[in-house]
Amino acid sequence: MEANFLSEFSRGRDNNLNLIRMIAATGVLISHAWAVSSGLADQQPLSETLRGIDLGTISVYIFFAISGYLVARSFDRTGSLKRFWSAWVLRIFPALLVLLLVTALIIGPFLTIAEAGEFWKTAPSYIFRNLTLFSLQQHLPGVFTDNPVGAAINIPLWTLSYELLCYFSIMLLGIAGVLKSHRLMVLALLAFLIAYAIILYYEPHQRLVSLAKLALPFITGVFFFVWREKIPLSPLIGLGLFALAAIAYNTILFQEIFVIAITYNVFLLAYLPGGVIRKYNRVGDYSYGIYIYAFPIQQIVAYQGVTEPILNIFISFPVALVCAVISWTVIEKPSLALAKSIR
């Protein structure tokens, strides 16, 4: 029956994607609490259980899988490079700019132990380089220098540059007509998998390896969009994919099968559960704000001497949530409204 397929469920905006993204952003915060509090990143939840795939990595995979589907849908619907890029630029950069200004002009000067001249000499480059996303600067003079995880101010920003590269890939796929062709999408996926295998085998550069790993859930989401009329949503399939990942646990394909299982179950949970859970959409989309504000807040908490991960989580999350609500209300929501007016 047609209603069993992804295309039928994903036509409107009544879904659980905002809630899932919020949970994923919170998962990143929780995962980082161990590294921030003790400096021991290998103690993050699930890292030993899933052969190096920790809670934070799963959360980032969820973001990229959802982005693959939604960005492909956005390009397919707009058919305009100007509209496509205006939407995504206004979604990412206004809130990011405000975060960087707050960090460099308020948090940094208040916490630094460096000389004022040394600090202010570096602050402009911190804002500019991180705003470009491709030449990140993680440090400001004298800030968090004695923290357990080191002086890095906002480690999660590194994923945003890879997300933008994935957006460029959507543009290329859209121009080539791949987003409207099942056959071309299969060929594109096969080409990606060949490149993915080569990069992971030879590991020519760490940034390429990171890009390949994050691009896997992204292109899986794109594939789900193109094939949405052929992909059934069924809890049995979702459980079956996780069972297949469990069977492949001791093989070289475990991570890839696990990523596919995560992606499928994300869309399963996004579109099948209904009822009262959908009321979360009335609240707002605070996931991006949580994602970009959580780490510096957690570093501030660690700077105050909090060395217990659980306590770091309980202190940091409410503060990050307040920042996220303000960011959504004052910056992100008006920016999205501007993007709609452009469309």
pLDDT tens, 260-313?
A: 999 999 999 999 878 888 888 888 899 999 999 999 999 999 999 999 999 999
- Domain containing 152 equals 2-342
Classify residue 177 by its DSSP letter.
T
Looking at residue 2, its pLDDT comes to 43
Average of per-residue pLDDT across 148-152 = 93
Please give the angle made by the CA atoms of 138, 142 and 144, to the nearest 5 degrees: 65
Q: Quick one: tokens of 85?
A: 């890029």
Looking at residue 343, its pLDDT comes to 60
- DSSP H helices in the chain: 6-9, 17-38, 55-78, 81-102, 108-111, 116-132, 158-175, 182-202, 206-226, 235-247, 254-271, 287-303, 309-327, 333-342
- Phi-psi label, residue 196: left if phi above 0, alpha if psi -120 to 50, beta otherwise: alpha
Q: Residue 82: is its pLDDT beyond 90?
A: no
Q: Cα(270)–Cα(63) distance, rounded to whole angstroms?
A: 13
Q: Quick one: tokens of 18?
A: 């905002």
The count of structural domains within the chain is 1
Question: What is the pTM assigned to this prediction?
Answer: 0.95
